[in-house]
Amino acid sequence: MEGIVLICINLCKLTFKMKKILISVKNFVVIASLFISCTKNESNSTHSWQELGGTNTSTFNNWISSITKDANGNLYAAGNFTDGNGKYYVAKWNGTSWTELGNSNTSIINSSISSIATDASGNIFAAVGFNNPNGNGFVAKWDGEAWSELGTSAFNSRIDFIATDAGGNIYGSGVITNGNSSVNNYFVAKWNGSSWINLGGNNAYFNSSIFCIATDAKGNIYAAGGFSNGNNKKYVAKWNGNAWSELGGTNSSTFNDVIWSITADANGNVYAGGWFSNGNGDCYVAKWNGTAWSELGGTNSSTFSGIYSGISSIATDANGNVYAGGGFKDGNYIEKWNGNSWAKLVGNNISNFNNTIQSITTDAQGNIYAGGLFTNANGKYYVAKY
């Protein structure tokens, strides 16, 4: 995923927030905002948001939870939408049109897709839950010709998120239920080419769901979500190849709510976004510079008003810009951090995102793509391109 873009859980990101208790399935939250934003807008009027494929041409009949690009520039989308036979699928944009990977007769994907990822060899991976004949969640692999289950599943319950690294390893976060359905063990597993292994060993479990995974150029793995430290604060966990640790130090985190998305840039900086808020009650992007966490833009400077569905997705581009999107008190939008300031991406065609943005990614040409719960004039869900 370009630049190591993380797209935070999408099936389990569909969660209601009720008295700050995390309940799975965030994408069912429907957000509509009629407030006017006073945030600075991106000033280049040559830019605009467009529906990929043409205005009101989309046939996606339900939400888009995850989008990503491969090394050849192809774009993929997945979520809760189905084809004409009622089958869930991964859609591919080849620059001209959307097509279904595989077909209804051969597909092994039989429920909503929470997360998709690609590797340098052109394989596509999709995560779903409760799907194989044994009722286990699994990672599905598309090798260019057919879908197959990647190894014997390590997850006897759902899979929340998947990611890949530069070495071709695949990582998945999910749940093992130990006999009793009320006892859940949350963990990150790695596919090493022949089997799934639990990072940290069979007892390396987190105390709540892991909604996002990111990798950096040095091979470090980062995970975040609803789990908390000894001070009951959410945090970003780092796997250095030998052990998990809290990024910033044990019990040092100040994140006051769920982390939905994390990503790392080429310089090793780590970014996080979610439901957590600053002193003004606004969502913000947190940056780890290798030494400390800080609010990107300065303390209490965030222009992401309120929380609502919060920051659902963060991405970076080759120029070091950071993009964050979601659903906020004053609307649903994406903002860009250019190293000095935040600005909304509006251009000369202000997009009327009528619901939450769930997933964003970038390409080598500087284009931005977004998918989520928003719809066009025909009531169809679509991928937007900036």
- Each residue's pLDDT tens digit, 304-327: 987 788 999 999 999 999 999 999
Tell me, what amino acid is at 382?
Y
Is pLDDT larger for residue 178 or for residue 263?
263
Q: Give me the count of residues in the chain.
A: 386
3-class DSSP assignment, residue 93: strand
- Burial degree of 327 (CB within 10 A; 0-12, 13-18, 19+): buried
Rounded CA-CA distance 129/252 in Å is 33
Instruction: Tell me what pLDDT residue 306 has.
Output: 79
Which are the contacts of 220, defined by CB distance < 8 A and separation ≥ 6?
238, 239, 240, 241, 264
Q: Which one of 11-25, 128-142, 278-292 scores highest in mean pLDDT? A: 278-292
Return phi, psi of residue 172, to 5°: -135, 140
Do residues 25 and 209 touch, judged by C-beta distance below 8 A? no
Assigned token pair, 97:
């049109």
Is pLDDT larger for residue 277 or for residue 352?
277
245-250 long-range contacts (CB < 8 A, ≥24 apart) are 247/222, 247/288, 247/293, 248/288, 248/292, 248/293
Instruction: Tell me what pLDDT residue 79 has.
Output: 97
Assigned token pair, 271:
């970014």
3-class DSSP assignment, residue 52: coil
Task: List C-alpha distances in Å: 90 to 65, 109, 205, 212.
Answer: 11, 9, 30, 20
Assigned token pair, 25:
């399935």
How would residue 33 be classed by pLDDT, with cut points 50, 70 and 90? very low
Query: Residue 171 half-sphere exposure, CB side, CA atoms within 13 Å?
Result: 24
Do residues 127 and 161 touch, judged by C-beta distance below 8 A? yes
- Burial degree of 307 (CB within 10 A; 0-12, 13-18, 19+): buried
How would residue 280 be classed by pLDDT, with cut points 50, 70 and 90? very high
**Rounded to the nearest 10 degrees, how much is the dihedral formed by the CA atoms of 5, 6, 11, 16?**
-120
Instruction: Tell me what pLDDT residue 333 has.
Output: 93
How would residue 194 be classed by pLDDT, with cut points 50, 70 and 90? confident
CATH topology of domain 17-385: Neuraminidase (2.120.10)
3-class DSSP assignment, residue 26: strand
Q: What is the pTM of this model?
A: 0.87
Task: List C-alpha distances in Å: 385 to 66, 346, 377, 379.
Answer: 14, 11, 16, 18
Q: What is the pLDDT of residues 160-183, one digit of tens each?
A: 899 999 888 999 998 876 655 566
Do residues 360 and 353 touch, judged by C-beta distance below 8 A? no
The answer on pLDDT for 227 being more than 80 is: yes
Query: Residue 344 half-sphere exposure, CB side, CA atoms within 13 Å?
Result: 25
Q: Which one of 15-19, 32-36, 154-158, 307-311 scores highest in mean pLDDT? A: 307-311
Do residues 44 and 150 touch, judged by C-beta distance below 8 A? no
The answer on pLDDT for 234 being more than 50 is: yes
Rounded CA-CA distance 164/221 in Å is 10
Instruction: Tell me what pLDDT residue 35 has.
Output: 31
Using only C-alpha atoms, the chain has a radius of gyration, in whole angstroms, of 19
The distance between the two most distant Cα atoms of the chain, rounded to a whole number of Å, is: 58
